[in-house]
Amino acid sequence: MKTLLSALTAVVAFGALATSATAADLVIYTSQPNEDAQATVDGFKAANLGLQVEWVRDGTTKIMAKLMAEIEAGNPVADVLLIADTVTLERLKQDKRLLAYKSPEAKAYDASLFDADGFYYSTKLITTGIMYNTQASMKPTSWKDLAKPEAKGLVTMPSPLTSGAALIHAQTLTADPALGWDYYRALKDNGATASGGNGAVLKSVASGEKAYGVVVDYMPIREKAKGAPVEFVFPAEGVSAVTEPVAIMAGTKHQDAAKKFVDYVLSEKGQEGFLKLGYIPARNGMPVPAGFPARDKIKLMPFNASDALKNTDKDLKTFSEIFGGNG
């Protein structure tokens, strides 16, 4: 009887969620952390009084699995996606799952940060650079420093087999003729380890277990502000970035509200919201969070989402051959 009641409760709860989502003026699927997602939605609602917004949050991989299951069932719920990377949205664009929208806010962005056809727009810059423990003997300034004898056995990084940001980082660096996959082979020969995600790298370097780490910017910068013995470096060659792009689903029943959301997150007001959350705004002319260099001092290495999508399987295989396939 208890099992039957639990099942009925679950059905009722699911029905309530479905009704709620259908009744909303906008449904957002996002990979932002919960607090960030709530802050983003609150800011949008304050700028668009009267709109009812529902949001669903999970990691990009799980969000995409949910979305694709809904599409397969013929009932996609999301109107807007705000997820980790442009490669995922490039795949949806090529599958004709996204709606093209030319936002008037795009003029305040570098052309490299949005799709030329208006299918997706970057909203922030989460870069990957080098962190080091302040007790380390070498103060790295270049990606190549991590392959030097001084760093032998002292480097750790997240695995592209586990972390989407690490995959984009690897694809960005290996597309640079001065680095390429030979750079990753040199890291492996120098005793670098690659496993897990960015959090494990932060812990390893902050504790002194390793001297150097490849990691997303905000983690060590925030930890340094709390007193951790770490520094973060934007290497001379530049940095890779995931940009948490926004896109509208092709089948949206709330096109006007969806366009308003895109305009909001790209607007100065929306970008100020991301700045308050501690991220580098993607919009030109904006300040940066405490601890970061000026926006125009941060050099982004070139990245082509279409090429990255095409090469993903091959790149993961190559990385696995170099570092092993455990991730």
Contact 159/194 with Cβ under 8 angstroms?
Answer: yes
Instruction: Give the pLDDT of residue 61.
Output: 85
Answering whether pTM is above 0.75, one says: yes
**pLDDT tens-digit map of 32-84:** 999 999 999 999 999 999 999 999 999 888 999 999 999 999 999 999 999 99
Looking at domain 125-241+302-323, which of 3.30.300.30, 3.40.50.300, 3.40.109.10, 3.40.190.10 is its CATH number? 3.40.190.10
**Edge-to-edge order in the sheet of strand 53-57:** 53-57, 26-30, 80-82, 246-249, 98-99
Instruction: Give the pLDDT of residue 327.
Output: 60
48 secondary structure, DSSP code: S
Q: Print the SS3 string covering 203-259.
A: HHHHCCCCCEEEEECHHHHHHHHCCCCEEEECCCCCEEEECCCEEEECCCCCHHHHH
Alpha helices in the chain (DSSP H): 2-23, 34-47, 60-72, 86-94, 164-174, 180-189, 198-206, 218-225, 255-266, 268-276, 305-323
Amino acid at 102: K
Q: Which two tokens stand for residue 91?
A: 């795949």
Instruction: Give the pLDDT of residue 144.
Output: 98
Residue 22 has pLDDT above 70, yes or no: no
Quote the mean pLDDT of the chain.
92
* 165: number of Cβ within 10 Å: 21
Instruction: Give the pLDDT of residue 3.
Output: 41
Contact 240/169 with Cβ under 8 angstroms?
Answer: yes
Residue 10 has pLDDT above 50, yes or no: no
**pLDDT tens-digit map of 282-294:** 999 999 999 999 8
Contact 249/27 with Cβ under 8 angstroms?
Answer: no
**pLDDT tens-digit map of 296-326:** 889 999 999 999 999 999 999 999 999 986 5
Amino acid at 321: E
Contact 295/288 with Cβ under 8 angstroms?
Answer: yes
Mention the CATH class of domain 12-123+244-292. Answer: alpha beta
Instruction: Give the pLDDT of residue 2.
Output: 39
* CATH 3.40.190.10 domain span(s) along the chain: 12-123+244-292, 125-241+302-323
Instruction: Give the pLDDT of residue 164.
Output: 87
pLDDT band, residue 9 (cuts 50/70/90): very low
pLDDT band, residue 20 (cuts 50/70/90): very low
Q: What is the mean pLDDT of residues 136-141?
A: 97
Look at residue 99 and give its three-state secondary structure: strand
Q: What is the mean pLDDT of residues 257-280?
A: 97
Look at residue 152 and give its three-state secondary structure: coil
Contact 126/220 with Cβ under 8 angstroms?
Answer: no
Say what percent of the chain tops pLDDT 70. 92
